[in-house]
Amino acid sequence: MRDKIFYFLTKIPKGKVATYKQIALYLGNGRLARVVGNILHSNTDSIKYPCYKVVNSRGCLSKNYAFGGINEQKRRLNLDGIVVNNFKVDLEKYQWKI
């Protein structure tokens, strides 16, 4: 499961985000969203596996982003061209539709 999650991260295009639930559905079970979050928190290579591109189902950033906190996640999303307002992204505009 871990390998599939990290593979998914490598496919999210620049300027797009995915949700934990979206990744869980890719795995075949939408109820695994929390498991996805826990696995992402164990990521040790944020360049190869850009977990900053994952938000919750309301578009909110992670308060506990593992690579520098929520402000760093916001900074990285901004560098990708994603507008973040009040630590939230517009999923209608930025969610990757696969």
Active site positions, annotated: 51
E strands, the chain, in order: 18-19, 54-55
Q: How far is it, in rounded angstroms, from Cα 38 to Cα 32?
A: 10
What's the CA gap between 73 and 53, in Å, rounded?
8
